[in-house]
Chain A
Amino acid sequence: MNKIVRKEFFSENVVQIEVEAPEIARTRKAGNFVIIRLDDKGERVPLTISAADIEKGTITLVVQRIGVSTWKLSQLNVGDYIHDIVGPLGHPTHIYNAGTVLACGGGVGVAPLLPIVQAFKEKGNRVVTILAARTKDLIILEDEIRKYSDEVIIMTDDGSYGKKGVVTVGMEEVIAREKVDLCVSIGPAIMMKFCALTTQKYNIPTVVSLNTIMVDGTGMCGACRVKVDGKTRFVCVDGPEFDAHKVDFNEMLTRMGGYKEQEKAAFEAYKKTL
């Protein structure tokens, strides 16, 4: 049982939750994720870690509520408990001295990007970060990202904040003006796909962190499998980060819709109980 110690809504459907998980706080690294189960009838949901506090023994999760489990999680309050949290899962990000790192975060993908940006900065890299979202309210963790970035570019689809346009517009701008040695992109699968296509044109090594469907998160079920360089890999134990230019995003997008009907029906039923 893990106690929630802090909760804050970033926007209508995006919530940040800090929860007690002392062992995970101690051992997690940038790039790791956890699996949570809200109650004894809950499903296992993979979530990325945006921060950890070893002294307080807590980890921070940022969640966009889009289905039954994420809604239920958003309804919990400080003092409530999450039944199970297991982790840290997945391989941590390979942090090294690359030179200039272009970090791209879309929507709640900025949350897992934050510890990676921090780690690359602390390693001595120049870090340019692009935060992208549909609209101003959905830009999250801007102050924290600024703390560890040499430059931050904000992109919104509707132009309500920063520059108008999608993430790749910002990427093209940076690539046109300076040498980028590594790109890290985390966000919706479709965004990561287009980030990959953009950097591929310029042969910039690019890493993406995939958030596929999972059950156990320890290599047991294979629900998260995705083709990378023509080979089937498990996101949970082989990833979650892969060479973006080798990921079969179309297959991944299809697989992420594998339970769409069930998820939709369950969510409709759940909304009636609210």
Chain B
Amino acid sequence: MTDYKAEREEQWRVDLRKSIPAKDRTNQPRVEMPMQDEIARRSNNLEVNLGLTEEMAVAESHRCLDCANPQCVLGCPVSVNIPKFIKKIESKDFLGAAAVIKETSTLPAVCGRVCPQEKQCESQCFYTQKLKKPAVAIGYLERFVADYERESGKMAVPECEKPNGIKVAAIGSGPASLAWAADMARKGYDVTVYEALHEIGGVLKYGIPEFRLPKKIVDAEISNLEKMGVKFVTNTIIGRTISLETLRERGFKAFFIAAGAGLPRFMNIPGENANGIFSSNEYLTRVNLMHAADPEYDTPVIKGKNVIVVGGGNTAMDSVRTAKRLGAERAMIVYRRSETEMPARLEEVHHAKQEGVEFLTLNNPIEYIANEKGQVQQAKIQKMELGEADASGRRSPVPVEGSEYLIDCDTVVVAVGVSPNPIITSAIEGLDVDPKRRTIIVNPENNQSNIADIFAGGDIVRGGATVILAMGDGRKAAAGADEWIKSQK
């Protein structure tokens, strides 16, 4: 365990704290993220947030009070040593700051971009809690540090223990697996990552759009893992191409299943199978993984003029903003609860609004109407109102009788959630799976399943969560797998 108190009393930290009066720190406004012009970016796929400059990052680091009892760390699912890395920025040791983050996080450039900081670290910040002021921009600073390190060409390859010759395999190559692979490689294991698709990265590649997470950032992380000796095998479905039993025969000693929540949910309402209605997975995969918007590539995508996206999560925001970039005249979010209950990151909602996305909250589709060719033409929408709080703690939406109306649309993207991919769980006999949610059941201490050599994490355990939680699972499962393998000797 990190002794935050002792660290805080190190001379360099004490000196830094004394260098600027606390009042001057708290009077400074929160940094604004430089952004691409909100009109220009509607017709390109480049990243919206441009990143902080060195001067901006150092100035923002001054705001951090280096609290005696840093609550931000408790808000982070992987307990990044936040005050320490921010104070490294303040002392302009940016590579040192990167090293601090990497003690606990495998993918800082990714997490700095996609974590819901306002619900995690930043929600616990002294500024948020006590001063009622905007939190220290922890996410922006994390991203700055990771980008600085990568662009410096001095991206540190973590030191690995002497190879122990023990073969282990991860199934799926999303954030959970990448974190697991990194930790296992550090511990000296011979790690192979199997991926069903033709590209490594899972949801970071097929799901999250370029304008939010440039693919070169993911590739840099993957290439770092390769330098650590991790092997990646694409086009391979464990349970189909190769069975887990065959992998055991080939000498693999432990497995980490992180095959994700691949199966899109539909609402099962009339007309939902009309042409022009897609799952968000299909829509985003075509554009992100298959580059359908680029005429050089063979995969087609429907470029709708009136696009409805159903849902209020990050995937819905990604889909609706993609629709805008594909040339939609009207791009609409239809969400059955109110904006307060939206699970999407705050920043994505802001960005979507800036880009001209319409928000139809407390609205819910109940039927789609197609023309004689089977192409969707209209959505029948029912208005909703908020009732009592449900199991998720959010007020549940209740239909307003007689409130139905029609909206013209030629494209509908359904982004109402995903279920765990069924292929791997059904291929492993005896694996404990939640009968209802189809998620793999694991011991929360070490992410071990009921089959001793199988560990699991990410969305196939959680049923739909965040990159950072998946990564946290990967790290916990790596510690668990390492301990279990050693106990077998």
Task: Please report A residues at the B interface, Cβ cutoff 8 Å.
Answer: 23-24, 27, 37, 41-44, 68-69, 83-89, 215-216, 218-223, 225-227, 232, 234, 237, 251, 254-255, 257-259, 262-263, 266
Contacts and interface: CB of A to CB of B under 8 A. Distances in A.
Contacts, number: 121
B100 interface: no
B235 A86 contact: yes
A218 B273 contact: no
Which of A216, A234, A257 counts the most chain B CB atoms within 10 A? A216
A41 B423 CA distance: 27
A259 B300 contact: yes
Interface string B350-375: 00000000000000000000000110
Contacts of A89: 237, 240
Interface of B: 196-198, 206, 234-237, 240-243, 262-264, 266, 268, 272-276, 278-279, 281-282, 285-286, 290-291, 296-300, 302, 373-374, 421-423
Contacts of A24: 241
Contacts of B272: 232
A86 B241 CA distance: 8
Which of B242, B373, B374 counts the most chain A CB atoms within 10 A? B374
Given A43-B290, A215-B299, 9 more contacts: A41-B291, A41-B296, A86-B235, A87-B237, A215-B286, A216-B197, A219-B263, A254-B275, A259-B302
Nearest to B420: A219
Given A68-B298, A232-B273, A23 B242 contact: yes
Nearest to A238: B422
A62 to B, nearest CB: 21
A220 B285 contact: yes
6 closest A-B pairs by beta carbon, nearest first, are A254-B374, A221-B282, A262-B300, A222-B279, A43-B299, A43-B298
Given A23-B236, A43-B298, A254-B373, A221 B279 contact: yes
Contacts of A222: 264, 266, 278-279, 281-282
Contact of A220 (B242, B263, B273, B291): B263
A262 B292 CA distance: 11
Contact of B198 (A23, A84, A225, A257): A84
Contact of A215 (B196, B274, B282): B282
Given A44-B290, A232-B268, A232-B272, A218 B281 contact: no
B286 A69 contact: no
A222 to B, nearest CB: 4
A44 B282 CA distance: 12
Contacts of B240: 27, 87-89
B422 A251 contact: no
Nearest to A85: B235
A258 B277 CA distance: 10
A262 B301 CA distance: 8
Contact of A237 (B197, B290, B299, B423): B423
Contacts of B234: 84
Nearest to B418: A220
B421 A219 contact: yes
Nearest to B241: A23
Given A23-B236, A69-B298, A258 B275 contact: yes
A257 B275 CA distance: 8
B225 to A, nearest CB: 21
A215 B290 contact: yes
A83 B199 CA distance: 12
Given A86-B241, A232-B273, A257-B374, A219 B302 contact: no
Contacts of A42: 297-298
A113 to B, nearest CB: 22
Nearest to A256: B275
Given A27-B241, A43-B299, A218 B236 contact: no
